[in-house]
Every structure is written in C-alpha cells, then in structure tokens.
Structure 1
Amino acid sequence: MLKGKNAVVTGSTSGIGLAYARALAAEGVNVTLNGFGDAAAIEKERAGIESEFGVKAIYSGADLTKGSECAALVKFAEDTLGSVDILINNAGVQHVSPIEEFPDDKWDLIIALNLSAAFHAIKAAVPGMKARKWGRIINTASAHALVASPFKSAYVSAKHGIAGLTKTVALETATFGITCNAICPGYVWTPLVEKQIPDTAKARGMTEEQVKRDVLLAAQPTKEFVTVEEVAALAVFLASDAARSITGSLQQIDGGWVAE
C-alpha cells in the first residue's frame, strides 16, 4: 500500500520519531531521518533501517529552528529520493518552569522547533504533493494540544498552535488528495519525557518517583505510559489509503487522559 513512497520524519534519531521511521520502513517506505545526536549512533540506525527493511534511508542534520533549513531538508529529500509523499513533523523540545521564571530563550526555542518548523516544512512539501495529487502530513501534537498543564507555557502554546495549523492545512489541501492530521499522545516514555522529570520535581517540590506516579501517570487513567510503537502504528494507519477521508483530525492516543 505504501511501498515505494518517500517520507521525511523530523526529530527521528530517537524516541517517537525513530519509531515512526522504522514503522514506515517496515511498510516499504524510503525514509529521511533528521535530528541531533551522536553521529555514529545515527549512522548505525540509518544503516540498520536499510539492511533490515530493504529501503533507502538517508539522513540530514538540518537545524529546524531555522526556517531555511526546514525547506532545505524537504528539498534534500526530494532531490535524493524523488519526492516527499509523507511528511511527519515530530521534532520537539520541552522546558518546565513557572511562567514568571520561564527563560525567554527557551520560549523562543520551543516555539521555533515545535511549531514554526512544522509550518516551514509543510510550506516546502505541499507544492510537490499537490502536483502528484497525493500526500500525507502528520504532525506530532500532544494531549497538550487539547488541555494544559502548569509550568509548560511554551510547550502547551506550541502544541495548541500545531492543532490549528493541522486543521488549516487540511482545509487548504482537501481537494488535492492530501490529508493533514495530528497525533496527540499522552505521556510516552521517551528521552524528552525522561529529561523533564528533574525540572518538574524541582518546580513542584517532589521526588522524581513522585513525579512519575503522581504527575505523569496520574493524568492517564490506564496508569501506563503510551509506547512509541503504538504511536507509530497510528501514523502508519493515517498514511494509508484506508485513512484517506480522515483529515484535519486530532487523534488522541493518551490512555484516556483527555476523556477526564
């Protein structure tokens, strides 16, 4: 169904992004990886995807806080693979702090990477998708695109912005065979979540174990972290022809968090 399509997955050197890339590759999709990290580890993942799934896997270290590099990433993928059929905007960063102490540079970084980067990448990818009359745009939002939590002003603002961007792009592309949806995970055990635990503990005056139990998993009625594989499986479905009538949606995968 997806065999031979080409995908760009931002923030795909670890966590949810890497799970997206691997799940798409398992369906025969050629993938462009992007993100920061140890060069040897990234190359190991890239080569592993090629050898395990028999697809092309390429890598770009584009800095997505710069709009020009977002566009350059899409062009690199188009030039190397021939097209960008699937775009997954997943790159993100988090910072936890009370609003009156929230560093200005952290606000700017989070808005740039979590929201503006998606705008720039979509802007670059849509012309080719329109020309081919087929495209799938999937944005990693969050339960925080639907509800707020304290001490995360920039992240919640960016994810609410992603929700609006998703709906707008869906309406603009609806007659071109393109869909645009957002996946809204609850707490997924990834490096991003793990790194925010010490700051959350400090902000709330709790131990790190208390943060996991009483803050993170308290929000999810299942009392379990969502897995990266579950999120990736949803992305594969949204990319499939079976989901061609699903567009402009915010797909919750949050253990029941937003239902409460």
Structure 2
Amino acid sequence: MTTTGPDGRSVIVTGAGSGIGRAAALAFAAQGARVVVADLNPEGAAAVVAEIEAAGGTAVPVTGDLSEQAVVDRVTATAVERFGGVDVLVNNAGIMDRMSAVAEVSDAEWERVIRVNLTTPFLLARSVLPHMLAAGRGAIVNTASEASLRGSAAGAAYTASKHGVVGLTKSLAVMYRDQGIRTNAVAPGGTRTAITVDVEAGAHGPAALAPYMGNVGRAAEAEEQAAAIVFLASDAASNINGVILPVDNGWAAA
C-alpha cells in the first residue's frame, strides 16, 4: 500500500483505541487511508496503530483528552503535518452516563457527558473545517446513538448530548454542502464493546428505562458499525448529506 492508495485519504478517528473507533480505524486503513488514531488511552491507541502497521497500513497515534482544545489542535496538526490535510473526520469518542433521570443528574455528570459527547465533536469539526474548505472537499461522520432518536435508550445527559450531535450534524450538512463537505451520523443500537454503565443502585432512571429496553434485538458487532461509517465517508455516499443512519437491527423501527 502506498500513501496514495485506493483512497490515500487522511482520516481522523476519535475514540479509536477500542470498540467502534478501533474497528473504523482498521477498516479505513484496510482501504488505503492514512489514519490518525486519537484516543484518551495511550496503550489502546498504540495497539491499534501497531495492528494497522502490521497489516501494511499507515497510522499515527495522538493521545489525550479530546475535550481539551489543545489536544484537538494537536490531532488536527498531526493529520496536516503527517498526511497533508484532513479528508475525513470521524467523531466517535464518547462516554455513557449513569442512566440518571433529570432529578438525579449531578452537575459533574451532566457537564462531563455534554463536554465529551457534544462539545468535543464541535471542537474537532471547527478545527478541521479550514483544511477541508481549503481543499474544497471533506466528509465528517459523527457517532450519534439510538439515544439520539428516542428518550428511552439512556439517561438524561447522554440522551441530550446525542440529540445535540444530531443537531450539529444537520447544521454542518446545510452550512457546508456548497463547499463540498458532507456531514452524516450513524446511530448505533446495542453494540458489543467494552463500554460499561455505572448504574446507581435504586436510582429512578434505570428503573424507568427498563421496560423500554426489550426491543434492542441482536447486538451489533463493532465492525458492522464501522462499515456504515466508512460507507458514509466514501464516494459511494457522495450525495448523502445530513443523514442520521440507524445501525440497530430495526430497533428504531420498532
């Protein structure tokens, strides 16, 4: 594979050290993209880069808290300096809440979930847009959630953050479509990853949500989510813009 391979594009994937992000980074690299593997966990990021390089691909890790502007700047600068620009941004990094109902949400839980899940994608999009605009092209794919489509799939903070991701996705799609930049989102349903939920015993939120969780169906593999992300970023989706794509085995249809 060369750096101008079947796609040769410069791709940033956040939360790429595990789960859906890892699967997406591997899938992009397998198609010839050069990947910035951005993650909070240095060991996870390094392992994914090693996996990509062992398969003959090109990747570089950037680690740090992506909710911090300095880390965002470093991610974008790395893509530009190492790979010549930013063709694709995958805003995948995110955290769960505690399934807390509004009356139970602490300031700390609310602010951290909103910061990581909504503000971070905004910061990264704002950071890469000048480079995409200069190139006259680009694709942004955000990871929303089944909780971006309904109020019964997570707690208040997570639900609000992912509904915000939908709004951000649609705003970007409209604002920059005439500049050659497309923005879409996947809305994963239940997916096999290492993410766990720290539920408070006896809390109202988890108890209130329990009756609604029966329609989840078969959990997806991370690779199934990654396939949808790679598609939305690809030329095969060249006229798809502003779409929120459920990848949930029909949960959203139930």
* TM-score, normalisation: structure 2: 0.90
Deviations 1:76-101 (A, max 9, x none): 22112211111000110112223222
Mean Cα deviation higher: 102-111 or 39-48: 39-48
Change (3 A) 1:203 1:134: same
Judge conservation of contact 2:72–2:124 (CA < 8 Å) in 1.
yes
What is the aligned partner in structure 1 of residue 215 from structure 2?
Answer: 219
What is the aligned partner in structure 2 of residue 55 from structure 1?
Answer: 57
What is the aligned partner in structure 1 of residue 199 from structure 2?
Answer: 199
Match of 2:242 among 243, 248, 252: 248
Q: Please, what is the CA RMSD of the aligned residues?
A: 2.2
Matches within 5 A, 1:1-260: 2-37=6-41, 39-52=42-55, 54-96=56-98, 97-149=100-152, 152-192=155-195, 195-196=196-197, 199=199, 202-203=202-203, 216=213, 218-220=214-216, 223-260=217-254
Change (3 A) 1:159 1:41: closer
Judge conservation of contact 1:65–1:109 (CA < 8 Å) in 2.
no
Structure 2 unpaired stretches of 5+: none
Judge conservation of contact 1:10–1:33 (CA < 8 Å) in 2.
yes
The percent of aligned pairs where both chains have the same amino acid is: 36
Query: CA separation in 2, counterparts of 1:204 and 1:226?
Result: 28
Runs of 4 or more, structure 1, over 3 Å off, are 39-42, 200-207
Deviations 1:11-60 (A, max 9, x none): 110000001101101110110111123x44532321121121x2221011
Cα drift, residue 148 of structure 1: 1.1
Judge conservation of contact 1:23–1:233 (CA < 8 Å) in 2.
yes
Q: What amino acid sits opposite 1:237 in the alignment? A: F
Structure 1 unpaired stretches of 5+: none
Q: How many residues align?
A: 247
Query: CA separation in 1, counterparts of 2:154 and 2:26?
Result: 33
